[in-house]
Amino acid sequence: MENVSFEQAIQVVQSLLPEDQQRLRQWLEEKEQKQIRQEINGESEMESFREREMRWISEHRDEHIGQWVALDGDRLISHGADLGQVFDEAKAQGVKVPFTAFIEDPNQPSMGGW
């Protein structure tokens, strides 16, 4: 494909149907988020957003019920009852943007609110 100028690309985008413009916008946002994650956490693989973290939680849920966990991909960085401490420990280990989650007991009612 030949190189297209920015102005030519704008003309093409303006000629798209509104639903296709929305699809393009979503695609650009997803691409930008992947790039940001790679730059912040040094990720080299292009995976779905937080796929490795969610898989880790699924596989290790029973080991950490009632605790906060901090993950970097599929690597446990810290865990405990205090979110602030867990987050701080992850940052201290060099993780710029750790993924944190509270592991609820699946046998207890959810603590959701209004």
pLDDT tens digit sequence for 3-38: 878 888 889 889 988 888 888 888 887 787 777 766
3-state secondary structure of 71: strand
Domain count across the chain: 2
Residue 77 neighbours by CB under 8 Å, 6+ apart: 70, 71, 89, 90, 93, 95, 98
- pLDDT tens readout for residues 49-77: 678 888 899 899 999 999 999 998 889 99
Residue 19 forms part of a structural domain? yes
Compute the C-alpha angle 38/42/47, nearest 5°. Answer: 45
Q: Do 58 and 23 fall into the same domain? A: no
Looking at the fold, whether 42 and 81 belong to one and the same domain comes out as: no
**pLDDT of the residue at 46:** 45
